[in-house]
Chains A and B, each alone.
Chain A
Amino acid sequence: MIAAQLRSAFVILLAFTLMSATGCASRRGVDFAGIAEQSTATLSDITSLENRISESDYTDEGKSELVQRTTRLRAMTLGIDIALIAAAGRQYDQQRSQQINAAAEIAHRHLQSFINRPADLFARSALTASEWSAFESRADALLMSLQERIEQ
């Protein structure tokens, strides 16, 4: 009798463990450590670009205009991080968490590709009103896409 009861207790325990394990596996949080690395990399790329601008032979006025752009790039990076804070601590289904991670990575990749160029090429795009405006629109769209995925 006791053996039968112990056996059924063991079965319940096993079932419970399996259910918990399945539940944990199917829901997960956003990969904050990975995205924080991306954010740090983007900020570090901005610093490198600022070093290149600083060492270039642009006039003080030209440098100042470029620094306004890099400051805006820092603000965009902070914007991505602040958007992600809304997702902190939440559990999403696997597909959604992958979508959020992907959106954040795409946004960082997009920023990094704009930043990681020789100072001259960056200046040409950053100081041309139409190109800069097109870049800002794309960056805003990526941020909105990230926010939508987090809030859905």
Chain B
Amino acid sequence: MVSRVVAVMMVLLCCVGCSQRRAIAVNEFAAESANTLRAAATMEERILLAELPAENQKQALATTRMIRNSVKDVDEIIDALASTDFDPENVVRLESSFRTMYRHMQATLEQPPAVFATRGFDAEEFKQWESQLDAMLQAAKSLR
């Protein structure tokens, strides 16, 4: 009798463990978001200090604005999902998406200002960002 109870309890515990749902690690991403915005501000300072042609300076500042918008988009997605519990596979997938986006945005903001200034909105990397943001948004909507 005792052994049966123990066995049933173990199976139940295992089932609960396997299907443990959790929310996204919001605090981690708040820190990443703050770091990315700081990196954007630093880049803007470097752009203003660098002796760039007026057109390049304008283009570069437009690009930092675009990155700030991307940060806002990711933050809004995370905020909308903050109180939702996901199954383990989906939460890891979403978190990996967010980490990837922040990592690439931060890396781009470390470029030399003159190089950053010559980048256009039509660059393949930005298109990939946008499609990845869309994919994240769709995935998040379907998983809620």
Contacts and interface: CB of A to CB of B under 8 A. Distances in A.
Interface of A: 2, 5-6, 8-9, 12-13, 16, 20, 29, 32, 36, 39-40, 43-44, 46-47, 50-51, 53-54, 63-64, 67-68, 70-72, 74-75, 77-79, 81-82, 84-85, 88-90
Nearest to A13: B6
Contacts of B83: none
Contact of A71 (B2, B6, B97, B119): B119
A13 B10 contact: yes
Interface stretch (B28-36, B72-80, B98-106): B98-106
B2 A2 contact: yes
Given A54-B114, A71-B124, A44 B107 contact: yes
B3 A85 contact: no
Nearest to A79: B128
B96 A88 contact: yes
B6 A12 contact: yes
A141 B96 CA distance: 24
A89 B93 contact: yes
Contacts of B15: none
B70 interface: no
6 contacts: A12-B3, A16-B14, A47-B112, A50-B112, A67-B118, A85-B93
B125 A78 contact: yes
Nearest to A71: B123
Interface string B116-136: 001100011100110010000
